[in-house]
Amino acid sequence: MHTRSIAVGAPGAHSTRIVLLPGAYHALDEFVAAGFDQAVRGRALELIFAAPELAHLNDRGWLAQLRTEVIAPARARGGALWLGGISLGGFMALRFAAETTQALDGLCLLAPYLGSRIIAAEVGAHGDLSGWTAPALLADDDDERRIWRFVQQLPHMPAAPRMFLGYGRDDRFADTQRLLARALPQGDSREIAGGHDWPVWRALWDGFLDTLPLDTLA
């Protein structure tokens, strides 16, 4: 797994770590080009960009790769740990959380891709997520229903991870993002002007950072 870490503050002093996964075909350098690293200057935290090997996306090998190479070491260093992503990276963050919720304190989902509109329509046909029932047995590759079932179960989970959802009003996935927003507590989602692009994601990133109780460096 390709990673790039940006630490702000004295070594060992970080109370919060954030792992971010890129969208499809995005390079880690694009986070830097969009100023995601500059946004954390002056805040005591560690920001870790992580990109799974493309070969592991279809066989779900990225789940174990992310767990062992990124999440476990970050958790071992202590402090709060958030996992997030943009577009497909948001989908992957949710999929990982659905399998290993104990490893995370929160999820930051920026314009997440949430699967096909066929599954979203199946969920949305019930009016809201609470009326939908996932099949008793889900196939190993049924990632989309696993994600929606995870979101449905969040209110009933002990020590469930916090969630921040942000997206643009004209995002091409806005219909499914609004379906997710309706399933979250008020205040956990943010819709702003714009589409599915880096300026919107950067604005949402700034908004997310403002919600965190981060120490400010002198």
According to DSSP, the residues that pair with 17 across neighbouring strands are: 46, 81
Could you tell me if residue 216 is inside a domain? Answer: no
Domain range for 93: 2-211
Structural tokens at position 206: 């700034």
* Helix, strand or coil, per DSSP, at residue 61: helix
Asked whether 47 and 38 are in contact (CB, 8 A), the reply is no
CATH classification of the domain holding 128: 3.40.50.1820
* Residue-level pLDDT at 217: 44
* Residue-level pLDDT at 138: 83
Asked whether 165 and 181 are in contact (CB, 8 A), the reply is yes
Domains contained in the chain, number: 1
Mean pLDDT split into 10-residue runs, the chain, 218 residues: 80 76 92 93 88 72 91 90 96 92 89 89 78 81 90 86 96 93 90 97 96 62
